[in-house]
Structure 1
Amino acid sequence: MSADTLPESARTVVVGAGAVGCSVAYHLSELGAEDVVVVDQGPLPVTGGSSTHAPGIMFQTSPSKLMTKTAHYTSRLLADAGVYDEVGGIEVARSAERMDFLQRRVEHATAYGLPDPQLLTPAEVTDYLPLVDEDAIRGGYYSPTDGRVDGVAALQWYIEQSDADFHGHTTVTDLDVTGGEVTAVETDRGTIACDRCVLATNNWGYRTGQLAGVDLPIAPVEHQYTVTEPLDELAGVESATRVDTGDLEVPGDHRIADAMGKGPSRPVGRDQDHSLYFRTHGDALGLGSYNHESLTVDPDAMGKNTAERQASVHDFTDEHWERATHPDRDTSPKRAFEELLPVTEDVDFAATENGIFVFTPDGMPVLGETAAVDGLWTGLAVWWTHSGGYGKILAEWMETGVPKLPDGPVDTGAIHVNRFEPHAGSKSYFVDRGATRYRQVYSIVEPNWQPSDHRGLRRSPFHHRQADLGAEFVQQGGWESAQWYESNADLVDRYADRIPEQEGWEAINRSPIEGAEHCHTREHVSMFDMSSFSSITVEGPEAVDFLQWVCTNDIDVDPGRVRYSLLLNEGGTILADVTVVRLGEDEFVVTTGGGNSPGIHGGWLKEHAPDTVSVTVEEGARTTVGLWGPKSRLLLQRVTEADVSDEGFPYFSAKRLYVGEVPVLALRVSYVGELGWELWAPAEYGDRLWETLWEAGQDLDVRPMGGGALESMRLEKGYRLWGTDIDTDVGPVAAGLGFAVDTDTDFVGKAALTERRESGVDSRIVPLTLDDSTDRLLSGRPVTKDGETLGYVQAADYGYSVGASVAYTYVPKEHATPGTAVQVTCEGETYDATVREEPLFDPGREKIVR
């Protein structure tokens, strides 16, 4: 409901009454949350943000399961609300490469459960879209439940259905933070004391974050949209108009709001080869274009609405319509539309805009509670397409501690507000990366694509040595990490009989050297740069009690022992997998992966630690070398006086020792299934650590090893990778990690985990191997049996030691028995595959424990 008097306090204040803010308020109400207030600077429901100038087109299919599922949830929610036009969506192809891309669309839609995805011939496309020139296209992809949301009507519905109090014409001027917690929202109409605040300000996300001292990497970018004058070819076409915007207060150009209110009568369309999209507005056509250079907006320059101007809409720039300015497109939007839709040739426009919306450095949304300010939640960089789903996820996260949709928990690593690296808050960085993501909106992005800008931000101490060895660097969390080394090219001939040739899409940005490094590590010794991995020190008189509470395994072990454990959320699903090292009575080191792990996992530990426990995320403070392979003990013993025999340094134990003069925390653990150690040293000693090992191992044929070899080796052993095989959408049993749970201890999520076990776990993770092919599979591709979709590929690679193409997937437990025959579809090919027992390689652990 709406209210005129601004309250002095509320439990929750949502800033922003657009698609996300309204969705969060609605879903909080559905969960029974009370005392929720929503404020917005604009009038209601036409707030003046991107939610009310957007054309509302919803294409649901994405390579991301989470994006696909949130889109489908949104479409079902708004269809039930009566504010969604389910006219279907068609993406057309003008090139052979795009037709291959559309085949991937079918595979992703099938994998993630969208109904009835179809490839269409040109004639079938024009049956649905008769204004399209059949000769201009090669075919299309059709998703029957795609469509268009009526933005103003949807916002009005949310406001009417929610129990929250909504206040328009209320500008937030400051966010009060005391003792690291948000305490109040200041506005031009008064201050609202609160326990928690949700930033759903999208275009203004960076600015509102700054009010609390938080750097949120939200880059506003313009893109163009036009609505034609009525067309004779669409005369008499009926369209739904749910809200008469003439009766509403509308900031800026009323023609835009009027045009957006007219619904489509035919499928919405996309021409991604030219970065275009389109839909009907009654008897007119709406034409949208990303086909121009990136028009970034200074996030500090986002202004306020006035009666004459909508702050999120800039003046239409004719040059970006009439000229080819996109760096990857050689045809102007005007000409490309005229080729595809000849009826648009020299047509006049009834409304035009350069509408503003936002991008993050990785193109994904920003959700969750910030690590810097307790109680400050974010719901940013979300479009209408996914707004209902992300509003549901955020509300569940806030109320229950478990982010989920109706069909279960969801993975949050790719959308978590704390996933960003320290440098991501720099405007020069996130605005540039936002521009790159804009440029790629409709581009065909190759597997393992890497950006070319803002490189070399984070380098290990031995980066120069890796460069001299011909490292092919990829950026991970800002770190330059080697994927393979050209210095190992000679190994390809040595292991040629074990490295099958790979072709096609799945072979792009890959090298046979990765396979050679895999094989060499299995037979000799290799050094792997783990500097992007993070260590977290946990110290204090109650450190052991704290870690016992947050870890699923028994952490109260003798000093010098190492435990593999999980961190669970309150719903009993996996927040992280970690290695815990006990160094002393009150001193522990927790190691975790790189990328988003330090921010998400380190932040979670810091948030939950009592005052008596110190948690320090040592991101970049230590550097690490993984020393792995059957000759690793011989090499390590040469450079240390410590006893590294199996008796003196058993598996899953730790020692402080010296490698040469370098002080090292050595862990006898291995992520590749070979004898080996992780050697952690202070960063300033890193270069000498590498040099000492390298020089001592030359007669042992020591080699550098990259991330490509690591991936194939860990899959052969069935070692899990957080964010790929495991995440917050699965529990330990389904993930095959029950061994890391000690039910004799109490820990976060135990009650929910126990309930899950008692009620039965429906799915299990299993390895598959292809029966008759050595092709490398790709993630997100459907796994089927007798035409029924069982799951999808989580991770895959070729297993050079087991001589088979390997994939991991979750399947219903009745299909998880080794020997079960299934099929996998990838790049238009359907492969026969078989469920196998894990691990595929060295099941007796003879190579690790020796």
Structure 2
Amino acid sequence: MSTDSTLPASAETVVVGAGAVGCSVAYHLSELGAEDIVVVDQGPLPVTGGSSTHAPGIMFQTSPSKLMTKTAHYTSRLLDDAGVYDEVGGIEVARSEERMDFLQRRVEHATAYGLPDAQLLSPEEVTDYLPLVNEDEILGGYYSPTDGRVDGVAALQWYIEESNADFYGHTSVTDFDTAGGTVTAVDTDRGRIECDRCVIATNNWGYQTGKLAGLDLPIAPVEHQYAVTEPLAELADADPNRRVDTGDMEVPGDSRIADAMGRAPTRPVGRDQDNSLYFRTHGESIGLGSYNHESLTVDPDAMGGNTEHRQASVRDFTDEHWERATHPDRDKAPKRAFEELLPVTEGKEFEATENGIFVFTPDGMPVLGETHAVDDLWTALAIWWTHSGGYGKILAEWMETGVPKLPSGPVETGGIHVNRFEPHAGSKDYFVDRGATRYRQVYSIVEPRWQPDDHRALRRSPFYQQQADLGAEFYQSGGWEAPQWYDSNADLVERYAGEIPDQEGWQGVNRSPIEGAEHLHTREHVSMFDMTSFSSIRVEGAGAADFLQRMCTNDVDIEPGRIRYSLLCNEGGNVLADVTVVRLGPEEFVVTTGGGNSPGIHGGWLERHAPETVSVVVEEGARSTIGLWGPKSRLLLQRVTDADVSAEGFPYFSAKRIYVGDVPVLALRVSYVGELGWELWAPTEYGSRLWDTLWEAGQDLDVRPMGGGALESMRLEKGYRLWGTDIDTDANPVAAGLDFAVDMDTDFVGREALAEVQASGPDSRLTPLTLDDSTDVIFGGRPVLDGEASETPRATGEAGDGDEALGYVVAGDYGYSVGESIAYAYLPSEYADAGTDVQILCEGETYDATVRDEPLFDPGREKILR
């Protein structure tokens, strides 16, 4: 480490930011054998002035997200082995029945994702661990014994000492050289560093740093309150267990904060999420953290730097947010709520206080990966101490091997990829507001299918007004307003009443029986589904066919007018995307993919790899698309076109340019619901006319609009995969049951890795399950257990004890056509044969289930091929 010596003129890798994430990236790159790494930071080292050293370091590992849970657990093991982690356990208490239900979900997620010994506690058991908690205030708790606290300054020192990187403090980045679309140098106030690649790991300053490279990274800083009490008599015998004396270090701002954070906890760390609070001991004192105040957003352009009197990411403690109830969803002030839960804090003075700053993204997830706009410029942002070790490992593997992974295996990246964001996400008004919402929700119980109420109607298909007139219940997806169901179809509920079971409790929240009615109607008649949020990618020019053959796992050297389903894989043979490839001419293709994060991630992948002679254009929003599906779809389509749409004239997986009325359309005979049908792609300006033409022609056929709820249940009945849910970069095609879309006679990215999987066989397989005697809907992230597993008690300390999950549910819904509740899960190959008995734990209930062959609906494909 050096803070005064001259910067090197060049480096292979420059990491900007020496906090928890930047240090983790440098350490893991070193571990993989990377050399010539330089890390720079604007602050002193190791107490940089960022959130890594003002944070209390509490690590609660359990999350509904597998990736967040896995990265947290990896981080805790890494830092525990390094000797800078206090594994005191973590307890989340419940003050309401709703929170007890939430804690049961905690047990289920922990069991699903392999966290050890997670369990529910009675109030008495909670106070055995945390005797200062008022037992009368709680109904119980959730206990994770490997939770704890990281010593931030000691961990940063360890990273610096163990990596082979050179570290330079007091070094501010002033610009990036990105001429030609590739980062080639980093300019600082101490000189210029030529480099081959660069990592932005500046967290609170992520937006500002990104702007230097011409990027609009949606990183919203938000203030957060923390206070440390004076020493308490009740903790007089506590050993502070200091690893680092910060008095020997250069510490910006109020040194009392760094001093307090260095004192280790001697009891489990705790959370009172009903009041958006958390706490831990600091030797003889208690630290009190509060999300229980209105969102205090910070202009990301005004983060500033360290001064003589202030740490850069710390603001003055605001008493009004401590003493008054300002959180829109909480009715108690933090002070009062803490005094009720921890009476020992009443009347105590504080020896250190802060409004510390950390960041949120619009969806609350990290920002990782290589940017689409600038090659060799990587990001590692919006990451807390809890997950920092894991994400540093993932990014280092991604940079060095092309395969993002942890020691446990490849990981999914769709939800964390820097290129996942929609075009509007870089608007400061948008991402700051959404960051504020995510802050507000940190400890809230977020309902299934929750929808935001701000920044709505940003992206509307040309059918929006027709859909609104039909009573569409709009859900937001990638900024698009996408109907989930239509009130105009309410009459169908009575028609199909005997086939639509009630969904009660948590499983019924934000659902409608209309979704089931639309599903059943489509199977019998004809429906129109808005696919405008899906994207098309034009690939054309000299060498386009050879290029796509290299990128796609399937043989796409097909005749013009034909369609082929294929995958894109990364270097490790894991699924980067599933796509539909349409060949329109010798060197002219259209590749269709989903909405959401697909345009940025999948389109960006193709753009990055395309040779100069090949044009790749992502047509996000340029085409409006209707899925016309159902047994009467051919009759309806034939009414509005002169083209031959017969089974012989327009066979399955073929494409034609036709006119629907007077609208020019690229018609694809494909169906995502397992029924006869077409996707009709038209330029956006023709969309409204396309809808009206079909709608008017189909009235006597009982044409109906169909929403996303019906789509989900129909595609699960057919076993069709969904990117980001059933398949992602953590799965390979063989395990995902998509080996039919792999042609090993072609030379594609990831082929060698897939050959090894095929030779040895997959460790797990994506498997359909149906519940034996229940119509309840099963949620994703719930554990699948051996069929011999015993009942799991609902609210005792035994919950989850001894149950090791075989796998976890990735998707579930009720199959209205097959009359069974369906769940898909990756299971060990020895459990994936049809007829195997398993159990699923969901919402405190243990469901008997059976492995089934797929597809569950129309296995002979008679309906789709007719």
Other-structure match for 2:204 = 203
Matched, 1:288 2:304: no
> Which whole-Å CA distance do the structure 1 matches of 2:107 and 2:81 have between them?
25
Other-structure match for 1:539 = 540
Other-structure match for 1:721 = 722
> Which whole-Å CA distance do the structure 2 matches of 1:776 and 1:462 have between them?
31
Other-structure match for 2:521 = 520
- Measured after TM superposition, the shift of residue 2 of structure 1 is 4.0
> Which whole-Å CA distance do the structure 1 matches of 2:597 and 2:727 have between them?
14
> Which whole-Å CA distance do the structure 2 matches of 1:304 and 1:270 have between them?
31
* Pairing of 1:696-775 with structure 2 (within 5 A): 696-775=697-776
Match of 2:807 among 791, 802, 825: 791
Q: Is the 8 A contact 1:195 1:375 kept in 2?
A: yes
- Measured after TM superposition, the shift of residue 239 of structure 1 is 2.6
Matched residue SS, 2:862: coil
* Pairing of 1:226-237 with structure 2 (within 5 A): 226-237=227-238
* Pairing of 1:354-373 with structure 2 (within 5 A): 354-373=355-374
Q: Is the 8 A contact 1:530 1:626 kept in 2?
A: yes
* Pairing of 1:393-432 with structure 2 (within 5 A): 393-432=394-433
- Measured after TM superposition, the shift of residue 5 of structure 1 is 2.5
> Which whole-Å CA distance do the structure 1 matches of 2:701 and 2:315 have between them?
65
C-alpha distance after superposition, 1:147-193 (max 9, x if no partner): 00000000000000000000001011111111001111110100001
> Which whole-Å CA distance do the structure 2 matches of 1:594 and 1:557 have between them?
26
Matched residue SS, 1:104: helix
> Which whole-Å CA distance do the structure 1 matches of 2:351 and 2:495 have between them?
68
C-alpha distance after superposition, 1:234-283 (max 9, x if no partner): 10111321000000000000000000000000000000000000000000
Other-structure match for 1:145 = 146
> Which whole-Å CA distance do the structure 2 matches of 1:493 and 1:240 have between them?
67
Matched, 1:463 2:464: yes
Matched residue SS, 1:467: helix
Matched residue SS, 1:649: coil
Q: TM-score, normalised by structure 2?
A: 0.98
Q: Is the 8 A contact 1:548 1:745 kept in 2?
A: yes
Matched residue SS, 1:516: helix
Matched, 1:806 2:822: yes
> Which whole-Å CA distance do the structure 1 matches of 2:756 and 2:815 have between them?
37
Task: Please give the root-mean-square deviation of Cα atoms over the aligned residues, in Å.
Answer: 0.6
Other-structure match for 2:798 = none
Q: Is the 8 A contact 1:622 1:681 kept in 2?
A: yes
Other-structure match for 2:257 = 256
> Which whole-Å CA distance do the structure 2 matches of 1:239 and 1:414 have between them?
39
C-alpha distance after superposition, 1:306-333 (max 9, x if no partner): 2321110000000000000000001000
Which amino acid in structure 1 is aligned with residue 87 of structure 2? E
Matched, 1:823 2:804: no
* Pairing of 1:18-97 with structure 2 (within 5 A): 18-97=19-98
* Pairing of 1:632-651 with structure 2 (within 5 A): 632-651=633-652
Q: Is the 8 A contact 1:369 1:378 kept in 2?
A: yes
- Measured after TM superposition, the shift of residue 760 of structure 1 is 2.4
Moved more, 756-765 or 117-126: 756-765
Q: Is the 8 A contact 1:204 1:299 kept in 2?
A: yes
Other-structure match for 2:622 = 621
> Which whole-Å CA distance do the structure 1 matches of 2:168 and 2:452 have between them?
42
Moved more, 568-577 or 169-178: 169-178
Matched residue SS, 1:672: coil
Other-structure match for 2:800 = none
Matched residue SS, 2:681: strand
Matched residue SS, 1:724: coil
Structure 1 unmatched runs, 5+: none
- Measured after TM superposition, the shift of residue 506 of structure 1 is 1.2
Other-structure match for 1:12 = 13
Which amino acid in structure 1 is aligned with residue 396 of structure 2? A
Other-structure match for 2:609 = 608
Other-structure match for 1:832 = 848
Other-structure match for 2:594 = 593
Which amino acid in structure 1 is aligned with residue 399 of structure 2? M
Matched residue SS, 1:605: helix
> Which whole-Å CA distance do the structure 2 matches of 1:373 and 1:173 have between them?
17
> Which whole-Å CA distance do the structure 1 matches of 2:158 and 2:248 have between them?
16
Other-structure match for 1:669 = 670
Other-structure match for 1:321 = 322
Which amino acid in structure 2 is aligned with residue 81 of structure 1? A
Other-structure match for 2:796 = none
> Which whole-Å CA distance do the structure 2 matches of 1:523 and 1:356 have between them?
56
Other-structure match for 1:846 = 862
> Which whole-Å CA distance do the structure 1 matches of 2:689 and 2:51 have between them?
53
Other-structure match for 1:344 = 345
> Which whole-Å CA distance do the structure 1 matches of 2:445 and 2:241 have between them?
34
> Which whole-Å CA distance do the structure 1 matches of 2:716 and 2:759 have between them?
30
C-alpha distance after superposition, 1:350-381 (max 9, x if no partner): 00000000000000000000001111100000
Which amino acid in structure 2 is aligned with residue 627 of structure 1? L
Q: Is the 8 A contact 1:250 1:307 kept in 2?
A: no
Matched, 1:110 2:111: yes
Matched residue SS, 1:677: strand
- Measured after TM superposition, the shift of residue 706 of structure 1 is 0.1
Q: Is the 8 A contact 1:2 1:159 kept in 2?
A: no
Which amino acid in structure 1 is aligned with residue 654 of structure 2? S
- Measured after TM superposition, the shift of residue 534 of structure 1 is 0.1
What percentage of aligned pairs have identical amino acids?
83
C-alpha distance after superposition, 1:803-841 (max 9, x if no partner): 000000000000011000000010000000000000000
Matched residue SS, 1:848: helix
Q: Is the 8 A contact 1:170 1:189 kept in 2?
A: yes
Which amino acid in structure 2 is aligned with residue 747 of structure 1? F
Aligned length in residues: 850
Other-structure match for 1:217 = 218
Matched residue SS, 2:193: strand
Matched residue SS, 2:459: coil
C-alpha distance after superposition, 1:560-583 (max 9, x if no partner): 000000000000000000000000
